[in-house]
Amino acid sequence: MEPPGVRVPRWYCPIAHTTFSLLADCLAAKLPGSLAELEQVLSVVEQAPSVEAAADKLRPDILLPGRVRWVRRRVTLARLALGALIALSPAQLDGCEPTLRSVRARLQSEWVLPSLRELGEAHLPALPPPLGFGPREPGRRQHDSGPRAPPAKR
């Protein structure tokens, strides 16, 4: 699912002591791959009976806990970004839910995420990824590692 050859060049700013990059419009921010690939993941999740079923279909190459984390990370980030854009664009998205299906019906566009990035262009520095370049979920820095393994028997 993730393209192996997509590399985003980075530069160092000696004044700000930070690095920066120029992200192509088609790529998702802080996630590997494109917005179109992310949109395909969201479509599968919205049509599947459960996240686990969607994860089985999308990532059969890894174990179930990893699959579910992989899917949930993308869904969580995308729904945060959709919710923020709905709040920032009431004229275009009033009454939409933070789902791909709801926004697609309103915009009548085949590819919603690239259209939304264009719509929220003025807010990209503050919007959460994968559409914008702002912070991820506030207060959360790492994914849940899942249940602990049972103690080893001696």
Q: Give per-residue pLDDT as tens, 90-137.
A: 888 888 898 888 998 888 888 889 888 888 888 888 888 888 888 766
Exposure on the CB side of residue 106, measured as CA atoms within 13 A: 21
pLDDT band at 138 (very low <50, low <70, confident <90, very high): low
What pLDDT was estimated at residue 57? 95
What integer pLDDT is reported at residue 5 of this predicted model?
A: 58
pTM of the model: 0.73
Contact (Cβ atoms closer than 8 angstroms) between residue 30 and residue 37: no
Give which of 19, 4, 23, 10 is closest to 130, Cα–Cα.
Answer: 23
Per the structure, the count of domains in the chain is 1
Residue 40 has pLDDT above 90, yes or no: yes
Distance CA 99, CA 120 (A): 16
- Domain, as residue range, for 100: 26-123
Which of these, 77, 86, 75, lies nearest to 116 by C-alpha position? 86
Q: Is residue 46 part of a domain?
A: yes
Give CA–CA dist 62/66, Å, rounded. Answer: 6
Averaged pLDDT, 39-50? 94
In a domain, 138, yes or no: no
Mean pLDDT of 18-25: 79
Any domain includes 77:
yes
Task: Show the CA angle centred on residue 142, arms to residues 44 and 66, nearest 5°.
Answer: 45
Nearest alpha carbon to residue 116 among 104, 126, 133, 125: 104
Whether residue 8 is contained in a domain is answered as no
